């Protein structure tokens, strides 16, 4: 029905109006439109103002708009071997402190140490996944922290999870957030590897469907 603020969506359901938590900090203007069909998770909790959690909105394709799932999806992706660029690792740690913030994963294997930052993407225009869909100072700081990791001797990479299957490649959203776009270009120049994987929502599962190029030009 409407989105009073970035954390709340009002849904019209068979049982009446529901207040649903939106776990995605993006603008989502192309997706959060009145009349769009949604799937949500029941999350009853008397201490919360909402009793459900938004999962997907329908537009041209189903799009997952729940950033709380990103870390789990990334770990499943790494453990499945879907990304052949990553070596088989003997250790995987999550939420590793580095510098003034945390990086999502530390992968270790045969003396190699790879720090991996994970970012979600829901905005796709004409087959191009654009990151981010809103200005993000926090995201820019994360990218700069990954650059410092490389300068400190680590291998480092950024993994973009494109939460819909209709993207052919991913590029920085220069018009919306030029600062983050410049940070991504600097990261590439310093040796940070970048990967992107498109996902599809299928009934009760969220599955990787393809690895897509990251184009920073």
pLDDT tens digits for range 124-136: 999 999 999 999 9
The stretch 16-31 carries a mean pLDDT of 89
Tell whether the model's pLDDT for residue 30 goes beyond 90: no
The whole-number average pLDDT for the span 137-156 is: 91
pLDDT at 70 (0 to 100): 95
Among 5-9, 15-19, 89-93, 199-203, the range scoring the smallest mean pLDDT is: 89-93
Check whether 87 has a pLDDT greater than 70: no
The predicted structure's pLDDT at residue 47: 82
User: Residue 123 burial (CB < 10 Å; 0-12/13-18/19+)?
Assistant: buried
Integer Cα distance of 135 and 172 in angstroms: 11
pTM summary value: 0.92
Question: In this prediction, what percent of the chain has a pLDDT beyond 70?
Answer: 100
Provide the pairing of β-strand 91-98 with 101-109.
antiparallel
CATH of domain 2-59: 2.40.50.580
Q: Which residue has the higher pLDDT, 8 or 217?
A: 8
Q: CA nearest 146: which of 122, 118, 170? A: 118
pLDDT at 110 over 70: yes
pLDDT at 147 over 80: yes
Instruction: Identify the residue with better confidence: 154 or 198.
Output: 198
Give the list of residues 6+ apart from residue 193 with CB closer than 8 angstroms, or none: 85, 155, 156, 157, 158
Q: What is the pLDDT of residues 69-81, one digit of tens each?
A: 999 999 999 988 8
Cβ 25 vs Cβ 13: under 8 Å = no
Q: Is the predicted pLDDT of residue 182 greater than 90, yes or no?
A: yes
Q: What is the DSSP string of 97-139?
A: EETTEEEEEEEEETTEEEEEEEEEE--EETTEEEE-SS--HHH
Report pLDDT for 125: 94
Considering the segment(s) 67-212 as one domain, its CATH architecture is 3-Layer(aba) Sandwich (3.40)
Write down the domain spans for the chain.
Answer: 2-59, 67-212
């Amino acid at each position: 029905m409407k989105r009073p603020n970035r954390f709340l969506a009002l849904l019209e359901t068979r049982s009446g109006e529901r207040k649903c938590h939106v776990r995605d900090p993006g603008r989502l203007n192309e997706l959060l439109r009145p009349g769009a069909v949604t799937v949500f998770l029941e999350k009853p909790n008397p201490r919360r103002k909402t009793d459900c959690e938004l999962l997907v909105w329908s537009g041209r394709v189903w799009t997952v708009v729940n950033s709380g799932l990103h870390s789990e999806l990334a770990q499943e992706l790494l453990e499945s071997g879907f990304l052949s660029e990553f070596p088989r690792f003997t250790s995987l740690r999550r939420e590793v402190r580095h510098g003034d913030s945390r990086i999502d994963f530390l992968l270790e294997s045969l003396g190699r140490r790879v720090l991996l930052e994970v970012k979600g993407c829901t905005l796709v225009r004409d087959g191009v996944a654009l990151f981010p869909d809103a200005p993000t100072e926090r995201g820019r700081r994360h990218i700069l922290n990954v650059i410092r990791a490389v300068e400190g001797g680590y291998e480092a990479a950024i993994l973009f999870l494109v939460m819909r299957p209709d993207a052919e490649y991913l590029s920085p959203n220069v018009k919306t957030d030029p600062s983050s776009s410049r940070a991504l270009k600097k990261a590439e120049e310093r040796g940070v590897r970048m990967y992107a994987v498109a996902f599809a929502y299928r009934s009760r599962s969220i599955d990787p469907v393809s690895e897509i190029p990251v184009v920073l030009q």
